[in-house]
Amino acid sequence: MALTSRDETDLLLPLFRSLSGNERFSTFLERLRRRTDAEYIGLIQRVGSSPHAEVSEFHAGIDLRVRAQEDDPLETRALDRFHYDNLRPGRVYSMSEFFDHDPVYRADRARRMQGLGIADERVVRIPDIGDVTAWLVMARAQPCTAADSALLSNLAPYVEEALRAHIELERYRVRASVSVQGLARSATAWLVMDREARLLFIDPRLEVWMEETLGYSPRIGERLRDLGVQTERELMAAANHFTGEEPGPPRPLLLNEHPRLEALLSATTDMPRRSMLVLCRLPNARTAESVERLARLFDLPRREAELAVALNEGLSIAEAAGRMGLTLETARNYSKRLYAKLGVRGQAELVRLVSDSVAVMA
């Protein structure tokens, strides 16, 4: 039995709409539950195949696991899904088929499920998507019908595609989140330009920095301004180059001299249109967190860690002493102890060590 136009509207639309929101298939599952008059509809998803693999369960209707624990904590074993691994993808199975090899266990599980108000189940295994395995489960207080099985069978390919898109979207979101956090922690901001060096996207942190430091806020669809004629020409030429057929390796460009704003220009990847990526190093301000992290990583007293952070910012011993309220002699004594503890031979090696440390990430 093929899906009807009503099924397409009531079930398939919410199934795929769930990809753009945070409802995690809830509308689709609830409508499927009402459509089949089921007590429970669940989409069970497992990542990996180890005994400790992560399992996610999205459901509509009663929460069988909670109900089982309320009745008897031991009753949750009736809900174990280990037997689902033996199901062939795409085929709909009835509850009696789960344990056709073990009639004693089948009868025991049926008794336990009846205690939860469930008389029958239907399960279809979704074809594996990489290391993700999923099952669509229906549980009813009355015996399931042939129409129920046909509906699950027809829905399985659509659920597979929706899950595939959902998994890819989740992985993209994770990669994007990690990339954004990594850039922020390394004091790197970004913007994207088109072939004419007009802004397509800009990192909000860079937008704020330019407004506070340069006195204007860049606008999407416009070029950066007040960079100087030569810099603006070089930026235009670079945008034309990096959106071409053979963009070549990244190249540096000094966008602003006072205050200094350096950029690394390159072609974008995995973008819907050819564009140029501009990475900028923002001043990495000294923070209390940097001092605390450095002290913990290298087992340093706070004042010595504070001096190390100051020297890493380019301050001289005398300048660091003034900022910290120390005499020059005390600051020199701190620096000597730092060199000895960290195994470096001078300020240059100290700065290199601190700069490479995660302690000075933003």
| pLDDT for residue 330 | 95
Domains of the chain: 5-176 (3.30.450.80), 187-281 (3.30.450.20), 288-360 (1.10.10.10)
∠328-330-332 over CA atoms, to 5°? 70
DSSP state of 77: G
Backbone angles phi, psi at 313, to 5 degrees: -80, -5
Cβ–Cβ < 8 Å for 122, 149: yes
- Residue 78, pLDDT score: 43
If DSSP codes are grouped into helix, strand and coil, which group holds residue 31? helix
Q: Which of 40, 38, 37 is nearest to 61 (CA)?
A: 40
- Over residues 256-266, mean pLDDT: 91
State whether residue 354 is helix, strand or coil. helix
Q: Among 17-26, 71-80, 286-295, 309-318, which is the least confidently predicted range? A: 71-80
Handedness of CA 181, 23, 152, 47 (dihedral sign): positive
Q: If pLDDT is split at 50, 70 and 90, which confidence band does 110 have?
A: confident
Residue 41 has pLDDT above 90, yes or no: yes
Contact 219, 239 (CB under 8 A): no
Is residue 242 a contact partner of residue 265, using CB atoms and an 8 Å limit?
A: yes
Specify the length of the chain in residues. 362
Angle formed by the axes of helices 328-342 and 347-355, nearest 10°: 60
- The three-class DSSP label of residue 356 is coil
pLDDT of residue 49: 78
Structure tokens at 90: 């795409």
DSSP letters, 259-314, are TTEEEEEEE-SS-SS--EEEEEEPP----HHHHHHHHHHHT--HHHHHHHHHHHTT
The mean per-residue pLDDT over the stretch 232-244 comes to 95
pLDDT in tens, 52-93: 788 888 999 988 877 777 765 544 444 455 567 778 999 999
Q: To the nearest whole percent, how much of the chain has pLDDT over 70? A: 91
- SS3 state at 128: strand
CA distance 273 to 231: 25
* Percent of the chain at pLDDT exceeding 90: 54
pTM of the model: 0.72
What is the chain's mean pLDDT, rounded? Answer: 87
Q: Is the pLDDT of residue 38 over 60?
A: yes
Task: Tell me the per-residue pLDDT of 148-185, one tens digit each, with 9 for 90 and over.
Answer: 999 999 999 999 999 999 889 888 889 888 888 888 88
Instruction: Give the torsion through C-alpha atoms of 104, 105, 110, 112, to 10 deg.
Output: 120
